[in-house]
Amino acid sequence: MRIPGPAPLLLAALLLATTACSPDTPAPTPPTARQAEPAKQKAPAKPAKRAAPAPAQVTIGGEDAAETAQRWQPPAVVIADDGVAQARRDANKALAGDRLYATAADAIPIWLALLERDPKDRQAQAGLAKARQRLLGDASALLERPLKQREAVAEAGEMALVLLTVAPDDPKVRQLQSRVELAQRVIAYNRAGEDDLRAGRVGEDGDGAIPNFREALALQADSPRARQGLAAAESALIRRAEAAARSADFTAAGTWLAEAAKVRDSAPTIDDAFERIESIRAQTLVRLRDQGLRDLATPQGLKPAREKLEDALRIAMPGDPVVAQLRERIELATHYGSFRPRQVFSDALRDGGRGPQMIVVPHGGFQMGAGDSELGASDAEKPAHYVRFERGFAMAITEVTVADYRRYVQASNARPRATRRGHSIIYDERSGNFTRSSGVDWRSGYDGTPAIANSPVMHVSVRDAEHYAMWLSEQTGRSYRLPSEAEFEYAMRAGTSGRYPWGNEGTPPPLSGNFTGGEDVSPSGRRWFNAFVGYGDGWWGPAPVATFEPNAWGLHDMAGNLSEWVADCWHASYRRAPADGLAWFNPGCRQRVIRGGNWANAPEQTRAAWRQSQDSDTTSARIGFRLVRGI
């Protein structure tokens, strides 16, 4: 709502000025004042007649639309010839009682009536001057009154009309008239702004309360009402911002708060509102996070949890830790279920024992196989290809031990392959060769002598390993299996990409594994013909599991100790190999794959990409296995 232009009072003042007496005229002659009777008609003295005031209307004509403006019309006062003295006394009494102009019994109408009888009446002139000064002071005081301004300005305007009638050329009167007009315009703008606020037209779009209050301040910079109006407009915008925040629409909340910040300069209320909105944001994010975490605890909760994350990301500021926590938990659930990377655990068995210790391998991708220029690589290790695991998996920290395998055999009455046929391949210390020996099975060590409990189990075929995995799955209610070839190489590399699991250098780091070292010596003093120069691990034959340092992902003996069965069938190259890390398996295949170097391998067979074909019935002192488990 916008108010009209100049106030009607200005037009009234201009019209009054055109009808006023010239400066030489002692006093104006009111148009409707009744003249005293001529002296020749002696009338008995009568009390002064005091009539009610009758406001007059002034009409402005012309080509423009007609406008009317109110002016003051003095109440008619009749003074008889013998009533002048009494009229003077009445006027002085009215002045003393601060009754100045409202009725015929007030000071100014009586003084005007006396001057109408005698323009040179000095007492009337002096009394009228006092009344005028009194009226100027009263009007000024009204304009400065902070409360009930509308009533005060209206009364001051009425006094200004009286003064314009009495003394139209007095500069102080003109100044008062201007102040009244200004105050009227300020009030009109403030009232328009308040009406807009009540109607919900705050004015952020340039039409409403804010422009009106600013117009008022442009006229009167210290207008408390206009300043309060702007504060109220600012509060209305802040309320909109907070309502939007409570509805989780923080984009709209930011927009409304930005509009509120434009209303007043450096208002502390904006900072307070920002803190409240940020508090609402934080509470909303905590609520979404907690709901998402509860979703993740349910079997089908991943999708609703992701929806909560989307809602949180839409309203969060960049880098919010609460959202990061929910994202991390969803990421973990997506790739690891209820586990976390590098977590170590073992499943309980139904017979009261524990399964092998497992560690969660991080999800991710790697370049599998050997590069075209890799020294010692075979065609079977090519072409190198990218494999990605969208979900992590758990892998046994060590090779399956003799003790682990004994629990299975005793619980299931199993008869592994070497036990059934009565022989396996061992290392013969006398000849220095690997030979078939009778009476050797899973209970035997690399040389056919009884194996210790924490030695890696050997002399088992790939099917023996798969049967153990099936038994362990039944015992735990979890899915255990042999690792795929891709899983094994990925876990062995543990984030590296060199020729060897430890990098491109030909000599292993100290204590990194059980390899064929030039410093190793057999019980009878034999040394390796082809070995890592300068390396010695102190073992001739497999070492107990976890004797050496784990790799970066916490896995022991991936590149040494024993080579290990994997789930894949043998393929002469990686052409058309799976890119998702699953085992490349053809039902009924006889040739299987072993991965990882062993205690009796040549150095080039310890490379990360090395692979070899083995018949599925093979049992040997150089081959063992470990399992993986789905998570």
Q: What is the pLDDT of residues 161-195, one digit of tens each?
A: 999 999 999 999 999 999 999 999 999 999 999 99
Nearest CA to 237 out of 197, 206, 283 is that of 197
From CA 627, how far away is CA 576, in angstroms rounded? 25
Tell me which residue has tokens 């006394």.
Answer: 89
Give the number of other Cβ atoms within 10 Å of residue 525's Cβ.
Answer: 6
What whole-number percentage of the chain has pLDDT above 70? 89
Give the number of other Cβ atoms within 10 Å of residue 620's Cβ.
Answer: 25
Residue 630: both structure tokens together = 């789905």
Q: What is the pLDDT of residues 494-551, one digit of tens each?
A: 999 999 999 998 899 999 999 999 999 999 999 999 999 999 999 999 999 999 999 9
385-389/623-624 β-pairing: unpaired
56-60/344-345 β-pairing: unpaired
From CA 230, how far away is CA 84, in angstroms rounded? 57
pTM of the model: 0.64
Query: For residue 150, which phi and psi values (nearest 5 degrees)?
Result: -60, -50
Maximum pairwise Cα distance, the chain: 172
Q: What is the DSSP letter of 607?
A: S
Omega cis (within 30) before 38: no
Q: What is the pLDDT of residues 207-225, one digit of tens each?
A: 999 999 999 999 999 899 9
Cβ atoms of 357 and 401 closer than 8 Å: no
pLDDT, averaged across the chain: 88
Residue 9 has pLDDT above 80, yes or no: no
CATH 3.90.1580.10 residue ranges for the chain: 358-629
CA angle at residue 616 from 615 to 620, to 5 degrees? 75
Give 70's pLDDT tier (boundaries 50, 70, 90).
low
From CA 509, how far away is CA 108, in angstroms rounded? 117
Among the four given CATH numbers 3.40.50.300, 3.90.1580.10, 3.20.20.70, 1.10.10.10, the one describing domain 358-629: 3.90.1580.10
Residue 312: both structure tokens together = 């949180």
Cβ atoms of 514 and 543 closer than 8 Å: yes
Residue 167: both structure tokens together = 């003394």
Strand stretches in 415-559, DSSP E: 423-428, 433-438, 480-481
CA distances from 444 to 11, 423, 459, 505 (A): 122, 11, 8, 35
